[in-house]
Structure 1
Amino acid sequence: MSAAMSKSTHLTEGPIGKSLFLFSLPLLFGNVLQSLNGTVNSIWVGSYLGESAFAATSNANNIMFFLLSLVFGIGMASTILIGQSVGAQDIHRAKRVVGTSALFFLALSVMIALLGWLFSNAILTAMHTPTDAMPYAIAYLRIIFIGIPFMYGYNFIMMILRGAGDSKTPFYFLLLSTVLDIVLNPVFIFGLGPAPRMGTAGAALATFIAQFVSLACLVAHLYRKRYFLRLTREDRGLLRFDRQIISSLVRKGIPMGLQMMIVSTSGLAIVNLVNSFGSVATAAYGAAMQLSGYIQMPAMAIGGAVSSIAAQNVGAGKWDRVHKTTLLGIVFNIVMTGVLVGLIYLFNRQTLSLFLKDESALAIGMTVNHITLWSFILFGITFVLTGVIRSTGSVIVPLGITFVILWCVRTPLAYYLGQYYGLHALWWSFPISFMVNLLIISSYYLWGNWREAKMLQPPKTSESTESASG
């Protein structure tokens, strides 16, 4: 136990730049794999099944992101709690978090899978999915819902491992999932060999099988290696709804989950707006978002890394390392995101041509990229600052900022520009909202009370106020 524990607490020691770089690389490569997987699926669907099928999967994937956001907050709260516990060398508390969180994820995933499968048609209709894309979208989305428990299960274990300081193991099994998904996609889409031809539903089935196999192998690996946070027969008493842990997960996790839900619902609102311009516009926007997903990868990887590193150092009381982590994270983001932005600008048409064949769709996609890509550097800085802030458990102010930016600035501005100035004008809502967001979150980092936040409160003081929770 002590050897495993000391191996996991390395984020509180040694050169911060090296720790940040080595921890973020697997996260970055994992993000690349996930986006590559989605990109390959989109190429198969868009190039061989047409714009309607591509528009269908784009709509369904936005719903999938929304579903992930439902449990993102609980997962992040678990990650931070485990990070702080490991940093403080309190392994028993970390395992308490694992047991309680596991029950939550299991119950929620089964409920969402059932409800989602039953109401797939109604959800897509509410999104104003183009009529010609509806049959493809329903077939795709229903299988995605069936796979929700496995998707949630893998993401839960991944966040547990990252909180404990391990970003490599999740990457290895994500690689397995990605390879399986890419290999199985053409098999089920086109009905190769004994497999039936399933079209867009085949892409979803390939993802389902890949996630199931990867999750099973990951769990087996952790128990075979006797991972120090695994729950054994002796720990079965921890597999329960611990009142103190539940209180923290709810108080801290729900605001973080709501923050992601605000992001995803705002994204759905933009998709709904773009859908009103027809399938060609939806396909173009979907392709541009595929590319912007790659642009956001360094920021998301570095943001996840700084959050895990900062959480462990908060637990260890090493605040000087927390602030150095922030500065290095910003520098890493500017360099890495800036390089990707430049590459996409140089090869704008060529990259979009991987997804789109229609000239009008290509023209729309190129306009989206010209207007929005540079501003993702600002988004990356914001993501790093937010990652450090939430490592203490400060969640309320970031939630409020996100709501204001997306639902009081970006979404209304997009609808206004789209209605009065046309499709091309609405893209300006992205850089404008990113600039406002960076200004506000930077001010909160410099002068806010996020450093005073606490993840756990003593059981006997549950009625105490949470004025320092941010």
Structure 2
Amino acid sequence: MSSIRLQSLTQGDIRKQILRLALPIMGTSFVQMAYNFTDMAWLGRLGSKSVAAVGVVAVLMWLSSSISTINKTGSEVTIGHSLGRGSTDEARRYASHNVSMSLLISSVLAILFLLLPSLFLGIYELESDVSAQALAYLRIVACGLPFTFAATAFSGIYNGAGLSSIPFRVNALGLALNMILDPLLIFGLGCGTAGAGIATLTAQSFVFGLFVYRLKKQDKLLDCFAFFVRPDRIHSGRIIRIGLPVAALNSLFAVINMTLGRLVSEQGGHIGVATLTTGGQLEAITWNTSQGFSTALATFVAHNYAAHKGKRIFSAYRYTLLYCSIFGILGTVLFVFFGNEIFRVVVPEKEAYLSGGIYLRIGGYSQLLMMLEIATQGLFYGTARTVFPAAISIGGNLLRIPLALILIGMGFGLESVWWAISISSMLKGIAIVCGLPYLNKRIKRNNQIQLTTQ
């Protein structure tokens, strides 16, 4: 038997359960975001070129983490459904498949980055000195992708079991190590951009090792499930069906952001690139908040959907919207009225933080609808219906490119890209609500199936 007690989400106080799940997941998201943010904050003292170099690689790592959501979302939903039905054996099999798949996918991706770095970095057409720094950073952090992917899958497994506080504590320790190593390697040993990469790689490998220790020695979650199994068609197929749409939308989002980065580079040079990448990290404060509640909602819904408890699902969604609205209003106020001051914390260079303030002000207008979209995704994900929200997100994100080009043609310059991002976020929030009547019927029908079998 497992030495750690699994959490029941099919009974008890809904508000407390959502918060208990969401807060550690939010913390984990902030910790993961803080790896790149910490690197950029220290490198900002070296100048905007170093920030731009790390920023473009951060987008590639964002693309990588998007792909890793195949197994993160796959873990959360499949394990949540299995435990909701009371099948620990099935949950164990899904855990093993998710970890094995994550290690395989990440190894392939790391090899691509190491062998063909110019294929990815060439998109931005950076100055030669910026490109050289980005290349050095990419080669180092790419080596840590298997550790990162596995840790993401481990986090999804714990989340699916209702134990979201454990990934937060493990990742927080990794961030603490990264924060200690960054100034030591960047400035103390004079390694510059490469030092930031070494610090990140060391922290990621530490997190992986700590997860392995907890799973095998301390928690013995799901009776010490195997990390390496030969994937079978049934389990791997269901994981891909659930996780692939989520990974596709996140990956395409990263690719679109890289395309926008090309436009930004043309319109504003390295200042524009630094604004886009650093501004995106700052805006991720509200994005990660809503993502935390969305993941918590997905886990909660997965357990209760499998247990045919529709009323608890609807109540949880209402509470999630309330919490996200509070944070959305706060984010709007901060970004619209204090954008310059917030951006200057990361990049003190005047030209950069003035440009960043404009980015945050324009993005601030869309915060509430952006959080509505992400929170609602959790409701769909928990029922294993990931295609519709993925289609909405993909369509809205694709709209950014032609919209930016139209605004550039109208003479709005660099701000064209910022407005394209903000307007598309608003449209996605409105569009996803249109799918709620259909999902409500499916949840009610699922609940009726249980009533007729009793």
TM range, normalised to the smaller chain?
over 0.9
| CA distance 1:274–1:318, shift in 2 (3 Å) | same
Q: Take 1:417 and 1:453, find their aligned partners in 2: how far apart are those partners?
A: 44
Residues 392 and 450 in structure 1, CA contact (< 8 A), matched pair in contact too: no
Equivalence for 1:322: 313
Shift of 1:23: 1.2
Aligned length: 443
Please state whether the residue corresponding to 2:231 is helix, strand or coil: coil
Equivalence for 1:433: 424
Q: Where in structure 1 do 4 or more consecutive aligned residues deviate above 6 Å?
A: none
Residues 389 and 450 in structure 1, CA contact (< 8 A), matched pair in contact too: no
Equivalence for 2:36: 38
Q: Take 1:37 and 1:115, find their aligned partners in 2: how far apart are those partners?
A: 22
CA deviation digits over 1:76-131, x for unaligned, max 9?
12210000111111000001101222221111111111121111122101333343
Residue 210 (structure 1) aligned to one of 169, 183, 203: 203
Q: Take 1:243 and 1:35, find their aligned partners in 2: how far apart are those partners?
A: 34
Is 1:376 aligned to 2:367, yes or no? yes
Is 1:129 aligned to 2:119, yes or no? no
Equivalence for 1:292: 283
- Partner AA of 1:182 in structure 2: M
Q: Take 1:17 and 1:366, find their aligned partners in 2: how far apart are those partners?
A: 36
Q: Take 2:34 and 2:102, find their aligned partners in 1: how far apart are those partners?
A: 26
| CA distance 1:323–1:85, shift in 2 (3 Å) | same
Please state whether the residue corresponding to 1:347 is helix, strand or coil: helix
Residues 393 and 453 in structure 1, CA contact (< 8 A), matched pair in contact too: no
% of aligned pairs identical?
Answer: 25
Q: Take 2:209 and 2:2, find their aligned partners in 1: how far apart are those partners?
A: 27
Equivalence for 1:265: 255
Please state whether the residue corresponding to 1:276 is helix, strand or coil: helix
Gaps of 5+ in 2: 446-454
Q: Take 1:346 and 1:365, find their aligned partners in 2: how far apart are those partners?
A: 13
Shift of 1:449: 7.7
| CA distance 1:230–1:144, shift in 2 (3 Å) | farther
Q: Which segment is superposed worse, 272-281 or 36-45? A: 36-45
Equivalence for 2:450: none
Q: How do 1:166-177 residues align onto structure 2 when only pairs under 5 Å count? A: 166-177=163-174
Is 1:25 aligned to 2:18, yes or no? no
Is 1:359 aligned to 2:356, yes or no? no
Residues 394 and 453 in structure 1, CA contact (< 8 A), matched pair in contact too: no
Shift of 1:207: 0.6
- Partner AA of 1:341 in structure 2: T
Q: Take 1:13 and 1:369, find their aligned partners in 2: how far apart are those partners?
A: 41
Equivalence for 1:62: 59
Residue 186 (structure 1) aligned to one of 183, 188, 200: 183
Please state whether the residue corresponding to 1:89 is helix, strand or coil: coil
Residue 220 (structure 1) aligned to one of 210, 213, 218: 213
Residues 78 and 159 in structure 1, CA contact (< 8 A), matched pair in contact too: yes
- Partner AA of 2:208 in structure 1: L
Please state whether the residue corresponding to 1:12 is helix, strand or coil: coil
- Partner AA of 1:197 in structure 2: G
Residue 85 (structure 1) aligned to one of 58, 82, 89: 82
Shift of 1:180: 0.3
Residues 130 and 275 in structure 1, CA contact (< 8 A), matched pair in contact too: no
Shift of 1:275: 1.4
Q: Take 1:119 and 1:3, find their aligned partners in 2: how far apart are those partners?
A: 45
Equivalence for 2:405: 415
CA deviation digits over 1:217-250, x for unaligned, max 9?
2211222224232435xx69x8221221012122
Please state whether the residue corresponding to 1:26 is helix, strand or coil: helix
Please state whether the residue corresponding to 2:126 is helix, strand or coil: coil
Is 1:406 aligned to 2:403, yes or no? no
Shift of 1:272: 1.7
RMSD value, Cα: 2.1
- Partner AA of 1:417 in structure 2: L
Residues 9 and 86 in structure 1, CA contact (< 8 A), matched pair in contact too: no
Shift of 1:419: 3.6
| CA distance 1:250–1:28, shift in 2 (3 Å) | closer
Q: Take 1:9 and 1:172, find their aligned partners in 2: how far apart are those partners?
A: 17
Shift of 1:27: 1.4
Please state whether the residue corresponding to 1:80 is helix, strand or coil: helix
